[in-house]
Structure 1
Amino acid sequence: MVVLGGGQVAQRRLPALIAAGADVHLVSPEVTPSVEAMADAGEITWHRRRYEEGDLTGAWYALIATGDTQANTLASAEAERHRVWCVRSDDADEATAWTPATGHSEGVTIAVLTTDARGRDPRHTAAIRDAVVEGLRDGTLVAPHHRTRTPGVALVGGGPGDPDLITVRGRRLLAEADVVIADRLGPRDLLAELPPHVEVIDAAKIPYGRYMAQEAINNALIEHAKQGKSVVRLKGGDPYVFGRGMEELQALAEVGIPCTVVPGISSSISVPSAAGIPVTHRGVAHEFTVVSGHVAPDDERSLVDWPSLARLTGTLVILMGVDKIGKIAETLVAHGKPADTPVALVQEGTTAAQRRVDATLATVAETVRAEDVKPPAVIVIGEVVKVGPTTAATSE
């Protein structure tokens, strides 16, 4: 095949032609450094001159991409006489062939071609190509596998609540699932986008109310996977951050069921960020600690060293601690944390219902009651609560 011109168009098109095994002869007095590197590597044959009559003799395909309109016209005419497929980058209407905008996703090639000669718009065609490829990659465009789907389970971290904050891989697996077992704290809006054939099971792990025992969740995962289905366990935040993800993976491993773990954005960092709170800030906090508050400090089941946490100078992030925050605050103050330490509670973070309530360790218990703060809420304790857009960082 023959390529006329060695500029940016040729540079973009040549790799695919080389990969397809084409014997490429490029005619151009000058080329880009990348094209020259292809010639130096022996991937193409470079003829360092302008187009001449007869260059297309014996060719089956020609790409005309020079900046010389007259040369392009003459080359098009030669291609027409020799019945050579001819693509022109400068004037598609004068070409004898048109190439689609192509993209790739999971072994599939997507090609988009404008068929109306009066409305050819390469940029629009490329934009459609990009939208289709991106949709397939992130799961917004559903094209489920039928023959190549591998049964098994995916533990997918859905992020803090906003459906846009699930990972691309997580959304794609969700779009391809046969069964979805979902937590209340997962991005519920994504469930409405699932095809009608997908079975959705509500794990119903609602704090302080109805719950689905962990054993029952494990059994449901195993049962559906053994039926040869693709199962997604959709969890809030990250599967391994207070999400019992390892317990579920261990249960699946015991019966030989393959499992994929897809990390998610943890609410411990993302929710404070959404509320305008950095968990670290130069000159204010050099570390942050994340703990579970579902067990009170004086409960014998507690594994948290609260006295040590009281002595830290960084940020303390507490998950699942709304109803225990009074006891937690008392314990921290009793072990040396100043009573006026700022506290922020961010309820339903990253969702449309998000709200932030501020207090101190001395007032937080009463504030939670007065403001009727409910789970899920992330609690942030430390000086970072007072950091805002106008706060100047120090050099420390």
Structure 2
Amino acid sequence: MKFKRITSFLLGAALSFAAFADTLILKENHPETYTVVKGDTLWDISAHFLNTPWLWPRLWQANSQVENPHLIYPGDVLTLIWVDGEPQLTRKKLKKLSPTPRIEDKEVAIPTIPLATISAFLSRDHIIEPDLLVAAPRLLGDAVGTPRFLEGDVFYGQGQYEAGKLYGIYRQGNDYLEPETGEFLGKQLIFIGHTEVSKSINVTATEQATPFDLLKSAREARQGDLILPIPEYETTPAYFLPQPVSSEVEGHILGALNNVSAIGKWDVVVIDKGSRENIQIGSLFSIMRSGPGVLVTKNKIEYQSDASSLDQVGSPDIIIPAERLGELMVFKVYEKVSIALVMRSTDAMGAKYKIKGLEF
């Protein structure tokens, strides 16, 4: 029943998607067929046919041979056909040319986006909001005052916790500030490891402190680190249907969560828009590079790469339009920020690049 509900959601959303979308335009040199390979995503497959791969649901909808595009597997041959003047992809079964059977791993269907890239960011909180930061419980230490802990160690956490539940140990990272107003939007959390209430008979819990076993760690845990529940998220691709955003919604990339300085395709970023701006899972943004402002005088032209900094030399006479470098899709939403995946990029990008809602 759960699978049926997800499928119904996907198909219903795809139909509503078509209600406001323009006619699909194929790439000039698009293929007529495409053989799915391991590592493909629906977005990438659509990019072989469309300059607007976020419109991928319309390549599959109303197609009896591909009722659910998430049930496409490596080895499937996709053929471009036309239905009522609209291009669509249909799945063609491979013919058996030899006694060698075709091997399919039916457990690994083609997802919307590379789920392996974002799985860690779905199952662990990476941003804590201001009100939660104040009351967040801390790692206290152990009976002999040890300040650092590794996998297999026992330590005490502040307060009481639920036995048998998995918790995460986190360290505070960067502050996220709104670039133009300086508003505090949240704090990055660096994941340290997994822990649970200790099962050892040698330690006991009180109202003030609970013993923990450090089950697995990416780095050493320290006194003062936060101990927080790890949320449970379903990673079914049905939750990543592209959603349009008004072009009036503008914001910024605040930074990358996967420790890169030059941001590109498939990198995970934080943006300064969240649920308070009605951002939702699947929301799409264009990534923009600000055009320079130009100050024209009688004998020379002055410009700076960022028009907003031209106050130093005077108001610009001309602002060259911003250049679109790619797109990003939101997959996790907080109140004031969201986590997104860069779906396409034509150049390396960095923090404070502007984003703009993508309408379609």
> Which of the five TM-score ranges fits, normalised by the shorter chain?
under 0.3
In the superposition, the TM-score normalised over structure 2's length comes to 0.22
Higher relative contact order (CA 8 A, sep 6+): 2
1 or 2, which has the higher strand percentage? 2
TM superposition score normalised by structure 1: 0.20
Between structures 1 and 2, the one with greater helix share: 1
